[in-house]
Amino acid sequence: MDSNSDPCFGFAFNNVQFSDRLLRIEITNGGEITNVDSVQDRKRRRTDVNTSAVDGENEKECNPPAPRVTDLHISSPILAAQSPFFYKLFSNGMIESEQNHVTLRIEASEEAAVMELLKFMYTNSLSSVTDVPALFRVLMAADKFEVASCMKYCTRSLLNIPMTLPYASLPPEELTALPLVGIMTLLMSNDLMITCEDIVYEVVLKWAKANSSVLEERQGILNHLAPYIRFPYMTCHRLKKILTSDDFEPSVAHKLVFEALFFKAESSLAHQAAIKADSHDRRFIERGYTCRPIKTVEFEVPHRQCIVYLDLTRKECNALYPSNRIYSQKFHLGGKEFLLSPCCNKDQQNRFHHFGLFLWSQEKGTSVSVTVDYEFSSRWKPTQEFAIRRKGKYKFTGVQSIGFRDVLGAPWASFIGEDSPYFINDLLHLRAELSIRL
């Protein structure tokens, strides 16, 4: 992703003939990694900067071992044009014309990223940096040394690469050390390889707590990041927790949660699409989750009940053949976590393929035994109403599954065909009703 509009001075990088200064990089091991926090109104921490006379005599290090040193020939106009940090350094620290040495002290963990950043300031390209962790480290260095063009380049590159959470291929300590622009870049991606939006929220919460111990300041950070969190795709269980937490001010929490619940309650996909089209808010855009989003409705009376809606495209169903399965996001009932798992499998005689649907229980902490009445339904033509396909009763005591290899009572070819009565506008609408009757 080279920038064609900006000049390239790659030929001048570390070339004494086109340089007017010597940059001495002292690389140390141990100690705190030098990072910069770009959260609003927070004080930036900067790398130690020293100037030395022409004879190159530097101050002695107080603490052994001595740092490793790398010297680079640099052009102060090129670096100053790209970075306010270097502009201030050269204009304030080089008053005497004979002072042509400048020393930067960085940690060994920063070395590769800083070197790539310096090259970028000459070439406007990071052609050798292609993986997510390396791009994030250069982004951190660019934020630290105020190279806005490199921050923009890294952000655009990261948005074109599928990333994973909770760590986006970074160790936890590096994730929490990301600048604000780094965490925003993560949240802007539609291709995070995660099971559900709950994980995104937990990562943001952890990042905010690591960067601020003051409640009001942390709430301000979360308010700033809220437009990048897809609240409508979080589970109802997690949304309820937001209402009773101090993550946001009460009025903000109620607005975010109720907007999300209203979106979930819209049974019409066309209406949901209209909301997305009319809004420029990223919160309504679905990411590429590894587990399929669901909509749930919960009741406590006359008995505990959970109704789960799961929609699958014809393409997703086609991908199940001949022996694959997918999983829904988790939902809760009677103190247990459950999920739905559509699949393609053969009947018990191992003759024909069918569309199957299973209910899985997930252990979480102590063992809870519950007896569940369940019904599996699907919409079908011509009425487009839900019709009960299978039902039963099962006592869950651990990590278990119950379901049907042929939930629709049709061979695979009839189920997936163009004239299938089960697809409405190329969508399969499934519903599971779970009840606990005491």
339-349 per-position pLDDT tens digit: 999 999 987 77
Per-residue pLDDT tens for 417-427?
999 999 999 99
What's the pLDDT band for 269 if we cut at 50, 70, 90? Answer: low
pTM over 0.75: no
pLDDT, tens digit (0-9, with 9 covering 90-100), for 319-329: 999 999 999 99
The confidence score (pLDDT) of residue 132 equals: 84
Percent of the chain at pLDDT > 90 equals: 53
Return the higher-pLDDT residue of 165 and 25.
Answer: 25
Given pLDDT bands bounded at 50, 70 and 90, which one contains residue 55?
Answer: very low
Statement: residue 276 has pLDDT above 70: no
Residue 205: its pLDDT value, please?
A: 94
Is pLDDT above 90 for 305? Answer: yes
The answer to whether residue 285 scores a pLDDT higher than 90 is no
Q: How many CB atoms lie within 10 A of CB 250?
A: 9
pLDDT tens column, 169-225 = 556 677 788 888 888 888 888 888 888 899 999 999 999 999 999 999 999 999 999
How confident is the model at residue 97, as a pLDDT?
A: 38
**pLDDT given at position 59:** 44
More confidently predicted of 98 and 18: 18
Q: What percent of the chain has pLDDT over 70?
A: 82
Asked if residue 107 has pLDDT above 60, the reply is: yes
Average pLDDT taken over every residue of the chain: 83
| Chain segment 378-416, per-residue pLDDT in tens | 999 989 999 999 999 999 988 889 999 999 999 999 999
Q: How confident is the model at residue 90 (pLDDT cuts 50, 70, 90)?
A: confident
